[in-house]
Amino acid sequence: MNKTMNRKLIINCDDFGQSQAANTAIMHLLEEGKVSSATIMPPAPFFAEAAEWVKKREKLSIGLHLTLTSEFTGYRWRSLTNLPSLHDESGHLHMTVKEFEQKADPKEVKAEMVAQFQAVKSAGLEITHVDNHMGSLYGIETGRSYLPAVLWQCAKRRLPFRIFRNIYSKDKFLATIPNAKEILAKVVALADTLGVGMPDYLLTHPYHIEEGETYDSFKKSLIEKVYDLPEGVCETYIHPAAPDENMNKLIQSWEKRVWEYKLLLDEDFAYALRDAGVTLTDYRYVHQNLRRSRVASLFRLLR
């Protein structure tokens, strides 16, 4: 392994505030410095608990997990604005990204995004970045993308966003998206124009337990990715959670979330990061070093 390469990794815990079990795991990992950051969900049931905990701690990197979907049967939530097109017949946010893209009114989507930005501010949190639950704002299912609106909101607040400058050639999921490189180039150009920072690469892995997958095989695959990281700043996201019998009944592949929590506490994984010469970083580094603003003075004039 060439340890002279400059390879930095952001490990972000998505779904902060989703449940008490998720909060338990994420708080532990943040306290121990095992992860870079977490992104918090204002509409979720345990948002207040997560926000109150964060307020008592300095220097954490906490972002906004823009949440426009509620995907788990038996464990769901509404929007903050209660606008009608954002909900299905049950009165909760749409379960799938496709339903959201097809049925949500763009004006109501933008109102909900603003409400979620306001919710973290009202909770006393100074967020460091923004990302999106389930990728609902990317237009992946129908092409109805809200990325220009998201990037505008991030630019006004001088916040990085989870998009990525390059597609990692070995990422199996991103490689399956039709015309991904062409679409990404346009989004990156807009982000650069607005001065919104982003990592160089995003690394994905399956949310659910694949056929024949075990904790050991999952750990092996993630450690292999650590040794194979490209040069630059990469982000990967996890959804760690503590063991919880009730949540295991409600959420598909809850065990995978428990595995992710276990992995970040696993000394084998910590050793792999050290041995591969990979340094953990966060979105503050992205904001300071990975912006390519073409209109840096625009927002100063608009204020």
Predicted local distance difference test score (pLDDT) of residue 298? 53
Residue 264, domain member (yes or no):
yes
CATH at residue 208: 3.20.20.370
Predicted local distance difference test score (pLDDT) of residue 120? 98
Residue 1, domain member (yes or no):
no
Tell me which of 60-69, 73-82, 178-187, 199-208 is least confident: 178-187
Predicted local distance difference test score (pLDDT) of residue 271? 98
Cβ neighbours for 127, distance < 8 A, ≥ 6 positions apart: 40, 62, 63, 64, 120, 159
Predicted local distance difference test score (pLDDT) of residue 296? 52
Residue 141, domain member (yes or no):
yes
Residue 162, domain member (yes or no):
yes
Q: pLDDT at residue 161 above 60?
A: yes
* Average pLDDT score over residue span 37-50: 98
Residue 255, domain member (yes or no):
yes
Question: Domain total for the chain?
Answer: 1
Residue 79 pLDDT class (50, 70, 90 cuts):
very high
The candidate with the shortest Cα–Cα distance to 188, out of 265, 274, 292, 56, is 292
Domain that holds residue 161: 7-302
Residue 112 pLDDT class (50, 70, 90 cuts):
very high
Q: pLDDT at residue 301 above 70?
A: no
Cβ neighbours for 294, distance < 8 A, ≥ 6 positions apart: 192, 193, 195
Residue 2, domain member (yes or no):
no
* Average pLDDT score over residue span 40-53: 98
Q: pLDDT at residue 49 above 60?
A: yes
Report the predicted TM-score, pTM, of the whole model to 2 decimal places: 0.94
Q: Phi/psi of residue 132, each to 5°?
A: -140, 125
- pLDDT for 233-271, tens place per residue? 999 999 999 999 999 999 989 999 999 999 999 999 999
* Average pLDDT score over residue span 97-116: 98
Between CA 262 and CA 273 the distance in angstroms is 16
Residue 4 pLDDT class (50, 70, 90 cuts):
low
- pLDDT for 172-228, tens place per residue? 777 777 778 888 999 999 999 999 999 999 999 898 999 999 999 999 999 999 999
Predicted local distance difference test score (pLDDT) of residue 299? 53
What does the DSSP 8-state code read for residue 231? S
Q: Tell me the helix, strand and coil percentages in the chain, rounded to 5.
A: 45, 15, 45
* Average pLDDT score over residue span 104-116: 98
Predicted local distance difference test score (pLDDT) of residue 302? 55
- Distances in whole angstroms, Cα of residue 192 to Cα of each of 63, 66, 185, 283, 286: 20, 21, 10, 16, 13
Residue 54, domain member (yes or no):
yes
